[in-house]
């Protein structure tokens, strides 16, 4: 299997894992915020669900205002479907769109083609995909920690089953 194939399989797996953990949140807990300087469970859920779509927008070179508009649109989409269930559609749609984009790239474009983010970072498409997968793992762990702090019965198997 190619590096691209491996990363796309990992994207598919982590998207499913994130969808499962996001679905565990109870609506009454969405305003939970561990400290004043941290996101609420609702804000974190929105962010995690949006990672694939927003990271794709960034790697495609959208300006900061355009990325913010996409985040706002995705938040409205999720909220319109009632949380936490609305997160699944946003997450799944973004992961599929990102995978479709990556699949259209030739091997050379995947490994050597690059894009620059509005904040100045330039990476190859392979690096962007790896960073997106890592980004999802990071916030999945954060969401898991919030659930633990709220007393949910979650453990390592929750992350890997």
Q: Omega of the bond prior to 136 within 30 degrees of 0, cis?
A: no
**Tens digits of per-residue pLDDT, 88-136?**
999 999 999 999 999 999 999 999 988 889 998 899 999 999 999 999 9
Average pLDDT over residues 36-60: 97
| pTM of the shown model | 0.95
| Bridge partners (DSSP) listed for residue 116 | 122
Does pLDDT of 82 surpass 90? Answer: no
User: Are 144 and 159 spatial neighbours (Cβ–Cβ below 8 Å)?
Assistant: yes
- The mean predicted confidence, pLDDT, of the chain is 96
Rg of the Cα trace of the chain?
A: 16
Contacts of 135 (CB under 8 A, 6+ apart): 51, 55
Q: Choose which CATH entry (3.40.50.300, 3.40.50.1970, 1.20.120.450, 1.10.3720.10) describes domain 3-160.
A: 1.20.120.450
Nearest to 152 by CA among 30, 26, 18, 17: 26
Question: What pLDDT shows up at residue 114?
Answer: 87
- Greater confidence (120 vs 21) lies with 21
- Tokens representing 141 are 């762990």
Question: What pLDDT shows up at residue 51?
Answer: 98
Does pLDDT of 31 surpass 90? Answer: yes
């Amino acid at each position: 299997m190619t590096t691209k194939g491996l990363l796309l399989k990992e994207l598919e797996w982590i998207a499913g894992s994130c969808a499962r953990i996001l679905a565990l949140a109870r609506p009454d807990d969405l305003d939970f915020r561990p400290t004043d300087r941290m996101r609420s469970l609702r804000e974190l859920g929105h962010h995690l669900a949006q990672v694939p779509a927003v990271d794709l927008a960034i790697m495609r070179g959208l300006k900061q205002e355009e990325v913010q508009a996409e985040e706002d649109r995705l938040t409205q989409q999720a909220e319109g479907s009632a949380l936490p269930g609305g997160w699944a559609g946003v997450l799944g749609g973004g992961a599929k769109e990102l995978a479709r984009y990556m699949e259209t790239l030739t091997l050379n474009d995947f490994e050597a083609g690059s894009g620059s983010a509005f904040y100045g970072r330039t990476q190859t498409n392979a690096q962007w995909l790896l960073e997106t997968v890592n980004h999802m793992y990071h916030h999945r762990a954060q969401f898991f920690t919030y659930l633990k702090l709220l007393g949910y019965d979650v453990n390592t198997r929750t992350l890997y089953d």
